[in-house]
Amino acid sequence: MFFKIALRNVFRNKRRTAFSLGVIVLGVTILCIVIGFVSDSLNGIKRSLVVEIGSVQIADPRYWDNTAKGYEYLITPDTVDRVIALLESDPRVTGYTKELSFAGLIGNEKNSTLLVSSGLIPHNPIYDYGSLIVTGQPLGDDGSPQIIIGRKLAETLNVRPGDPINIATGTVSGSFNAATARIVGILQYNNLDAEGQIGFVPIAFAQKLLRTSGVDKILIKTSNPDDSESVTRELQAKLDEQGIALRARPWQELSSLYSSIKSFYNVFAGFTNAGVFILVFFSVLEVLTMSFLERTREVGTIRAVGTRRFQVFAMFLMEGVILGAVGGFLGILAGTGLGALINYGGITWVPPGAIEPIPLQIQLGLSVALFPFFTALISTFLSTLYPAWKNARLSIVKALSYV
C-alpha cells in the first residue's frame, strides 16, 4: 500500500519529478561514461603489458634492484633449464621465453645513435613484436644477424628493410664488440621516445655481441593474467626450495607506468563520482523539501486518521528511493546507449606519449553500471532523510493548520 502511495506521489508533480530525474540521469550517464572509459583504458594497458612483458618475469635479484656490476646478473644456461623444468610442471603456465637486453650504438657511415635493444627468440609464445611491423618482416630464425627497429630510428638513420647496419656494444667482460646486421623490418611502437632508440634482434645474435651464453630474464605467460600474483608466490617458493637464487615478479610490479596511470584514473573517477553525488544530493534535497512542505496539511490529515510517524517517514523515504531507482535505471540506459554510440562512432584520441591516435572505447556491462546506479540511489536516499524526518515529526495540529 505504502509503495503505491509513494509511487503516485512521486509522479504527482510531473515537472518537478522530471527535473529531479533529469539531474539523476545526467549524473549517472556521466559516471557510466567515465567509469567505462577508465575500465577500458586500464584493461587495454593491462593486456598490452601482459602481451609485451609476460604475466611473470624471473631474474636475478641484482637485476631487479639495479645493484649488479656489469653483467653479473645474467642467468646461466643450467639455471635456465632448472627454471624451465619448474615451469613445465605448472598447468597455469601456457608459455615462456628468454630475453637478453643491451644498450649500444647503431649506425652506418652517414650517422649513428643510441640503441636500446632486446634479444628475443623469434616466434616465441609471448611476443616477438611481429604484429607491429609496418615495413618489412619479423625476425627470422635462420641464424643470420638481423634487427627490427622503430620508425623514428629508421628515419634518423635514413635506412629501410634490407639495408645493412652496424651495431656496437660492450661485452660481459668489459671489452668492445661490433657486428653488422641486416634490417629486416620497421616497427610502429606508438611511442615517440621509444621509436627513436628501440631495436630487437635474435637472442643468439645478442649473445654473440655480448659474448655470453646467459640471459637476463625469463618471461612467463599464464592462462589468466589476474592469477599472476598467486603464480609468482608459488613459483618463488619453488625457486627457494630448489636453491635457485632468482626472484619472480608479477606484471603488476614490473611497470611503474601502469601503477601511475591506475592511480591517476582512480583519482579522476573518484572526483567525478564525488561531483555527481553532490549534484544529485543537493538537487534532489531541494526538490523533495519543497514537495514535502507543500504536503504538510496532507501529513496532518493522514496522521489524524491514525498513521504513525514512522509510517509517514517510511512513505516519504520510499518516494526518494523510487526516484533514485528510476533515475538510476534511466541513467544506465542513457549511459549504455551513449557509450555504444561512442564505441561505434569511430572517435579516436592520442594518449599522452603516443604517436598515432587510437579508438576511444567505453566499456559497457553490469560491472560498469552498478556503481553509478548505487551512487544515484544512495545520494537520493540520503537527500530524502532530512525532509522526511522533519515532516514526520510535525504535530497533527500544526500540520493541519499549515497554510
Number of domains in the chain: 2
Asked whether residue 381 is domain-assigned, the answer is yes
Asked whether residue 54 is domain-assigned, the answer is no
Asked whether residue 56 is domain-assigned, the answer is no
- Do 241 and 318 lie in one domain? The reply is no
CA angle 339, 344, 347 (to 5 degrees): 85
- Do 312 and 171 lie in one domain? The reply is no
Asked whether residue 53 is domain-assigned, the answer is no
What is the average pLDDT across 175-192?
A: 86
pLDDT-based confidence at 11, cuts 50/70/90?
Answer: low
pLDDT of residue 304: 65
- Do 155 and 132 lie in one domain? The reply is yes
- Do 24 and 69 lie in one domain? The reply is no
Domain boundary among 221, 245, 269: 245
Domain boundary among 195, 217, 245: 245
What is the average pLDDT across 335-348?
A: 86
CA angle 249, 255, 256 (to 5 degrees): 120
Give the β-pairing of 176-187 and 146-150: parallel
Asked whether residue 122 is domain-assigned, the answer is yes
Asked whether residue 176 is domain-assigned, the answer is yes
- Do 271 and 384 lie in one domain? The reply is yes
Domain boundary among 245, 270, 291: 245
Residues with Cβ within 8 Å of residue 265, at least 6 apart in sequence: 38, 41, 42
* pLDDT digits 0-9 by tens, 295-320: 656 655 655 665 666 666 777 777 77
For residue 288, give the nearest of 315, 309, 307 by alpha carbon: 315
Domain carrying residue 142: 61-245
Q: What single DSSP character describes residue 141?
A: S
Asked whether residue 323 is domain-assigned, the answer is yes
- Do 118 and 232 lie in one domain? The reply is yes
* pLDDT digits 0-9 by tens, 64-89: 888 888 888 999 999 999 999 998 88
- Do 196 and 305 lie in one domain? The reply is no
- Do 33 and 173 lie in one domain? The reply is no
